[in-house]
Every structure is written in C-alpha cells, then in structure tokens.
Amino acid sequence: MKSKIMLGFAVCAGLFLCSQNVYASRAQGTDLSRYQGYTAVKGQASDEFAISQIGGINTGGIYTQATYQSQVATGIAQGLRMHTYIWYQVSSDISKAKQCMDFFLPRIQTPKRSIVALDYEDGASASVAANTDAILYGMRRISDAGYTPVYYSYKPYTLAHVDYKRILAEFPNSLWIAAYKDYSVTTTPDYAYFPTMDGVAQWQFTSMYRAGGLDGNVDLTGITHNGYRKGDAAKPVSKPTAVKQGIKADNTPKTDIKAGYTVKVNFSAGKWASGQYIPSWVHGKAYRVQQVSGNRVLLAGIMSWISRNDVEILQTSAQAKQTSGSTYT
C-alpha cells in the first residue's frame, strides 16, 4: 500500500489493553491498491473488510487507480465491508488539499458513512501546525460529504510532522496507524508491538499478511462497520455503482456461471474436478471462467476444472468487461 515500510517498536501490551477498547471488534481485513489487481483480495477466509485506494495527489498532481471500482464491487460480492483511502501528499498546502477533495469526494464508490482515509506519510513541510491544518481540512471535507474521516500514517512520522492530538480533539478515535513486528508472514496481530497512541481505531500490523505480501489490519473499535447496517456488507446505507455491482454478483446463482465470469476459488475447496488436491496458493484467488461443462467450470490461466460449488462469483461477464480501465469517473 505504502511508499515506505516501517517497523513497530515493542510496547507494554498491558498499557495498550488498558487504554484501548480492543474488544469492540478485532475484525481483520486488508488494504488494496492497483498492485492487488482488479479484484479485492482476502488474506484470510475470515476477513471482514478491505480499504481500496481510489487514487491520490502527489508532486505530479492528481492520479487515479483504475482498479478501484472493481475492487469495491468484488469485495462487496465476497461479503467484505469496503472502504476507501486517498494518497494525500499535500504537505501543508490547503489549495492542493482542496484540489484533492474536490476531485475525489464526488467519485467515492463506497457507501455513505464508510471510511475515507487520508494516507499522509510523505512530503510533510517543516511546520507541524500547517501540516495538521491541511490534514484537518481534508478530514472536515470528508465528514461534510457524509463519510467517516480517518488519518493513516505510522507513528514516528506522525510524531515528527503532525499534531495528532488536534486531530483527535475534532475527530476522536480516527487514527489508522501502521507498525510491524517484522517482515515474516503474520496472520494475527501481536499486541506486544502495538504502536501505543491515543485514538487508534485501526492498526496495520503487517505488510506480510500472506506469502508474497499483503497488508493486514485489525479494527479495534468497530469503525469498519460504518456505512453498513449491523456491519453487513449486503446492507450498505447507500448504493453507489460499485456497491450495486457487488450486490448483483453476490445474488447471482452459481447455476448462471458462464464463460467470462470472474470467480474466486473458495478457501474451503479441497480438490479439483480431476480429484487432485488444490494447492493452498490457489485459495482465495480470482480467475476468469473460460468454459463451462455441467457442474464444472474451467479456470483460465490455471487451466483447471473445478466444481461450481467450490467457487464464488465476483463479477458477471458484463461486469468483468468493465475492468479494463477506470470506470468510476
């Protein structure tokens, strides 16, 4: 997800447990950018949410992520509560912050009240006060637009460049902080390495949520339920285009699977139609359906037959055709 990788520092888990209501959720999920491709990726079968990058602003100006809409749609199809983040390299420039918000807020494809996070980890100015002003400007705009504003960064960068207490005074429990124990595959958070700060709603605890690399996050307060009635991905409080697409795919019966559909191999799938065992690295991956025969579907790329019952529909053939470019503008 990020341009910089950071290591967490060991802290007293007891202090953390006393200062944070960690029992409120502890749901786990991922964050996604164009590097994960056009379909939302789960790190674990039990994941409940994902946060997809819509694009951002840097020294070159505004840029978008062509993968955003389809990631949101395919995440909803998998039962994930989908949220949004923006790369927010505005330094302390309010005019640049305004340009960023003016462009992206009308293009958000996750439900109202869902998270819209500002990824602030590069390009800060020498003025802590001015940097914080620019961040608060963006968070106020997000709140005014009907979404849940969140600040993302890592602890050392925040302490050096941002007055996060000012952020929390206006937006309590709005921090999403990254800190990693190490770079080994990590599927559950080790709270001895929690980046102790007030107001942390989410912790990005690893960049190796699975082999090959994927960010893993834990929701400590229930914030990822925002935008979804009773935390149900199938019950968003509003339905932008991507959300409608995801719900449609989720409600499509498997008997309708045709060539051109995009499906995910279920984590519970044990054997190919041939009787051979399915390798673990296939579980959770998305494939285009190349051919259908009876109760079996042929997965393109891997060229293996699998039972319809062992896959989950992510996109219909019509939706899959829309993933070749940016479709949310």
Identify whether the C-beta of residue 116 lies closer than 8 Å to the C-beta of residue 148. Answer: yes
Burial 25-38 (b: 16+ CB within 10 A, else e): bebbbbbbbeebbb
| Alpha-carbon span 199 to 220, nearest angstrom | 10
Q: Which of 47, 48, 121, 219 is catalytic?
A: 121
**Contact partners, residue 274, CB within 8 Å, separation at least 6:** 304, 305
Q: Which of 48, 119, 215, 250 is catalytic?
A: 119
Identify whether the C-beta of residue 108 lies closer than 8 Å to the C-beta of residue 240. Answer: yes
| Alpha-carbon span 130 to 162, nearest angstrom | 9
Strand order from edge to edge, sheet including 296-299: 304-307, 296-299, 286-293, 262-265, 311-315
- Catalytic residue check, 122: no
- Catalytic residue check, 48: no
- Catalytic residue check, 31: yes
Give the residue numbers marked as catalytic. Answer: 31, 119, 121
